[in-house]
Amino acid sequence: MQSAESVLNVLRERGRRGLPCNELYRQLFNPDLYLAAYGRIYSNDGAMTPGACGETADGMSMAKIGRIIDAMRHERYRFQPVRRVYIPKKNGKRRPLGLPSWADKLVGEVVRLLLEAYYEPRFSRRSHGFRPRRGCHTALSEIVETWGGTTWFIEADIADCFGSIDHEIMLSILSEKIHDNRFLRLIKQMLQAGYLEDWEYNATLSGAPQGGVASPILSNIYLDRLDTFVETVLIPQYTRGKRRAPNPAYTKKTDAIHRARKRGDHVAVRQWRKARRNLSYGDPNDPRDWIGLPGGPVFGQVEVPRGLRSGAGCGVPGWAAGQVAGIQGVPAAAWTRTSRTFWPARAAVAM
């Protein structure tokens, strides 16, 4: 058996080169991957939180890993329903949280390691959520270093991101690069395992459990289509020009400085320069700096470009109208996403 790091390095290289994965399921027979997964999750606070069966990380052994691998080898492994609890949100509402059993957490971490190794090199560099060595701080660093002179930022949110993932679309996206039906069946069974609420079983017809170990990487694979659609279709379609037009007031004062310099009036030059410091070189009302919509930007109106509203063309048709909230007049030239929240940014909505 290869070491876990060797397996993951091979997957990273295949992902970087765009090659498909034909025998991913057989990697679930590798005990070293389970040990690597155990090393990543055993110290988490949730390791001792019981799922529906009451099992926790306590009592973990190589014999247990052997039983899981034997079940995988004969395709007998089945994910158990997660135990649903609710945690409070800042807005006063409650967020459903699914608590899987310890064995499901371990297998989910192995699945996450395999998927992350393959898909991580393929993700957009503007995506920062649930990714290694990336997060809100790297997104903010990109804003500071790249978006100089930005006046406004627009924050939008995909409502019920984990809960609205369409299982068929998720599996079709995975099947484009993962040509292994056994692995795809395992992912399908994970998504459709259901949940227990007040000890009553409920089927999961859509979504991935919020609290599941593999849910963040699955949501990133799902939302990568949205990133690609925005970067390759929406931004080129609505971006007008490469630079902002000069500000007429700035140009007027620059001309006055030139005339005063020709006259030798150094006092007037200093006065015009001081007055010019309060102005920007670019025209703040330049229409080319917008991803505009018919009728122009309207303050307070909740609207986004039609392609982003419907999901047409991005391969993720589940984004119904109102699911992606924004302000009409989404600015051009940049796109940064952090987990379920993204910032299409530059210029601004007119006030």
Q: What is the CA radius of gyration of the chain?
A: 26
Per-residue pLDDT of 88-115, as tens digits, reads: 888 788 888 888 988 999 999 999 999 9
Per-residue pLDDT of 212-249, as tens digits, reads: 889 999 999 998 988 888 888 877 877 666 777 888 99
How much is the pLDDT for 110?
A: 96
Per-residue pLDDT of 5-23, as tens digits, reads: 999 999 999 999 999 999 8
Question: What's the predicted TM-score (pTM) here?
Answer: 0.73
Total Cβ atoms within 10 A of residue 156: 19
C-alpha to C-alpha distance for 92 and 150, rounded to whole angstroms:
33
Overall size of the chain counted in residues? 351
Look at residue 326 and give its three-state secondary structure. Answer: coil
Average pLDDT on 257-264 reads 93
C-alpha to C-alpha distance for 10 and 19, rounded to whole angstroms:
11
Confidence of residue 336 (pLDDT cuts 50, 70, 90): low
How much is the pLDDT for 154?
A: 66
DSSP string for 232-264: IIIHHHH---SSPPBPHHHHHHHHHHHHHHHHT
Sheet holding 156-157: strands in order across?
Answer: 156-157, 341-344, 335-338
Total Cβ atoms within 10 A of residue 292: 18
Per-residue pLDDT of 187-208, as tens digits, reads: 999 999 999 988 889 898 888 8
Q: Which two tokens stand for residue 250?
A: 């700035």
Per-residue pLDDT of 294-332, as tens digits, reads: 323 333 333 344 444 444 444 444 433 333 333 333 333
| Greatest pairwise CA separation for the chain in angstroms | 92
Q: Which two tokens stand for residue 333?
A: 């030239």
